[in-house]
A = this chain, B = another copy of it.
Amino acid sequence: GIGKAEMVKGDWIKKGAVVIDCGFSVYYIVMLLCMTVHFLFNSNSDIVISRSCVPKPIDRLAREVGLLSDEVELYGKTKAKVQLHIIKRLQKQPDGKYVVVTGITPTPLGEGKSTTTIGLVQALGAHMKLNVFACVRQPSQGPTFGIKGGAAGGGYSQVIPMEEFNLHLTGDIHAITAANNLVAAAIDARIFHESTQSDKALYNRLVPLSGEQRKFSPIQINRLKKLGIEKTDPSALTDEEITRFARLDIDPSSITWQRVLDTNDRFLRKITIGQSPTEKGYTREAQFDITVASEIMAVLALTSSLEDMRQRLAKMVVATSCSGEPITTEDLGVSGALTVLMKDAIKPNLMQTLEGTPVFVHAGPFANIAHGNSSILADKIALRLVGPEGFVVTEAGFGADIGMEKFFNIKCRYSGLRPHVVVLVATVRALKMHGGGPTVTAGMPLPKEYVEENLELLEKGCSNMRKQIENAQHFGVPVVVAVNAFKTDTEAELDLICDMAKAAGAFDAVRCFHWAEGGAGAVALGQAVQRACEAPSNFKFLYDLDLPIADKIRIIAQKIYGADDIQLLPDAQHKVELYTKQGFGSLPICMAKTHLSLSHEADKKGVPRGFILPIRDIRASVGAGFLYPLVGTMPTIPGLPTRPCFYDIDLDPETDQVNGLF
């Protein structure tokens, strides 16, 4: 076994804490030695740093954080899944402090939210000796081999082993690919079979003879109930009921369910399917999205239990029938299979930081057409595990106008959890851009404005930070600004940001050096966060779910983005009517907007004013539980550049080590 259950119920938090302390103290000395060596060669790439420290066995970490052996499923030596029955064991335990990390509007390079999340937990856990958990998203594998590289944090603030984190992990994203594409195959196959068979033939195949008689499967009984047919004997249906039951009558032009791959394959953005003679001329235009954009990923992130996931997976709407009814995965008969495919993915994945503190890596929904936050389940389990004096630090994707707003209005609404503190990551680089600095482009050298002191640009650009602080304050939660320092930043620049942040109403603002120094560089941030958790908090949502769809969108656009108003274009107007009629009007809103500006135009930096936010269309993720208005066109599958990252990636056959991930 992976370690006998040494801990007694009721005693686990204290015991867990003690184990962490002593576990950490030994481990920490090793870490310091190994990090000291590396500080001498500070140009090391992330993967060199990642593999320079041997991770502790994951079963040991599991024991340290108070998990019992029957609650843990090992996946090799450095990853484990946590079984959901732990929630029952811990149901009476009080939660720890809940911290969400967000950021100002970033440059295309990113401003270090993930790195700050990891640096902060390393500070709180390994240096301040508090129980702590980081909860982060699993990255898509597409960008790992494309432009971006890995997403495990950076420098001396990373999740390790970073190659496990960035590649298959425990297969959750692969399970989503399989589940998503089973739905897609079922949709087209069903349309095909309906088009080539009579009602009676269709019915006889759907409810086949088993021995002497026909029998509905439980999933078919669910569909009958939805149709208002209260019969369980297949021979009792009238002809009209048979037709209603057997024909989904999907309008092909209404299909919103796309196939997915976790690959940057731009040639799948728009395709024509069904061109083999075996499909008898039934062709249609379709597309692939990146897997993390699948609604199933959003379901995984928002679900609260296996039973709840089963219900959400069954409610997903894939198309509309010719008569205007929403067609669900339950209607297709595939909802149970989806649950089976996702039964392991629902369990959070345990890993560790470079300094040996625990991390849950779980779910990674796209941050524009979905809500961009890691899973509710991981946060909930972590909050119980750390205990009332402990800290759970979770990260929201993109800037505060997107990821944080969705964190509050969608994730917290479904989870019932209330954060104690918002950590807002700011950088000199991004603020200078907002102050009017030249364009920042990935892969190009930074213009000199960004590597030399320029207080004027910086001060002007602080407007964006001010607005994002205000955005957090709309929700009544204290804000700590974390200034993620780069080596080209000057003292005066860093001071200026801190002063401006405090003047804008931040609870505190501190400089952080966790990229270069690990947790030691984020202790001041940890202390500020600890103090902020004691500050008064008065959480409220931004909008009421019962408001009309357009009103909810308008509130986000005006209060968070600073728009004068919204404009619903015809498709969007039509969807408002359709979804209201279909009964989806009271879902929360998940804006699909560029993250590079508070407005809908990526090149408008700072705090754009006087704009009308155009809503091109609206889509529904009924299973996940939100409507997503499309503001402009969102690419949903990235492409590969001329020289993708994969040119540098290889396995060293001598050592079995992965080279070239960064």
Provide the bound-state CA to CA distance between A649 and B334, in Å. Answer: 8
User: Are the C-beta atoms of B273 and A268 separated by less than 8 Å?
Assistant: yes
Task: Map CB proximity to B onto A60-77 as digits: 1 under 8 Å, 0 otherwise.
Answer: 000000000000011111
A632 within 8 A of B: no
User: Are the C-beta atoms of B175 and A168 separated by less than 8 Å?
Assistant: yes
A660 within 8 A of B: yes
A113 within 8 A of B: no
Q: What's the nearest-Cβ distance from chain B to residue A42, in Å?
A: 16
The interface residues of chain B lying within 8 Å CB-to-CB of A171 are: 168, 170-171, 174
A201-209, A235-243, A377-385, A572-580: which lies at the interface: A201-209
Closest to A269 in B: B276
User: Are the C-beta atoms of A273 and B271 separated by less than 8 Å?
Assistant: yes
A167 within 8 A of B: yes
User: Are the C-beta atoms of B263 and A642 separated by less than 8 Å?
Assistant: no
The interface residues of chain B lying within 8 Å CB-to-CB of A188 are: 265-267
Interface size on A, residues (CB 8 A): 93
A599 within 8 A of B: no
User: Are the C-beta atoms of A285 and B275 separated by less than 8 Å?
Assistant: yes
A110 within 8 A of B: no
Provide the bound-state CA to CA distance between A76 and B75, in Å. Answer: 6
The interface residues of chain B lying within 8 Å CB-to-CB of A168 are: 171, 174-175, 178, 341, 344
User: Are the C-beta atoms of A219 and B185 separated by less than 8 Å?
Assistant: no
A525 within 8 A of B: no
Closest to A219 in B: B647
Provide the bound-state CA to CA distance between A534 and B371, in Å. Answer: 66
User: Are the C-beta atoms of A206 and B658 separated by less than 8 Å?
Assistant: no
User: Are the C-beta atoms of B274 and A267 separated by less than 8 Å?
Assistant: yes
User: Are the C-beta atoms of B639 and A278 separated by less than 8 Å?
Assistant: yes
The interface residues of chain B lying within 8 Å CB-to-CB of A508 are: none
A566 within 8 A of B: no
Provide the bound-state CA to CA distance between A197 and B643, in Å. Answer: 13
Provide the bound-state CA to CA distance between A57 and B1, in Å. Answer: 8
Q: Which 5 A-B pairs have the closest CB atoms?
A: A336-B650, A174-B174, A269-B276, A337-B646, A185-B265
Task: List 30 A–B pairs whose Cβ atoms lie within 8 Å, in order of A's numbering.
Answer: A73-B74, A73-B75, A74-B76, A145-B337, A167-B341, A168-B341, A170-B171, A171-B174, A174-B174, A178-B262, A181-B261, A185-B263, A185-B265, A185-B267, A189-B639, A192-B266, A193-B641, A259-B268, A266-B279, A267-B279, A269-B279, A271-B272, A271-B273, A272-B275, A275-B285, A306-B656, A310-B651, A336-B659, A337-B646, A340-B650
Q: Residues of A at under 8 Å CB distance from B?
A: 1-2, 57, 59, 73-77, 81, 141, 145, 163, 167-168, 170-171, 174-175, 177-178, 181-182, 184-186, 188-189, 192-193, 197, 202, 205-208, 217-220, 259, 261-276, 278-279, 285, 287, 306-307, 310, 333-337, 339-341, 343-344, 635, 639-644, 646-651, 653, 656, 658-661
Given contacts A188-B265, A192-B267, 11 further A-B contacts (CB under 8 A): A73-B76, A76-B81, A167-B341, A189-B639, A259-B261, A261-B261, A266-B278, A271-B274, A336-B659, A340-B661, A343-B656
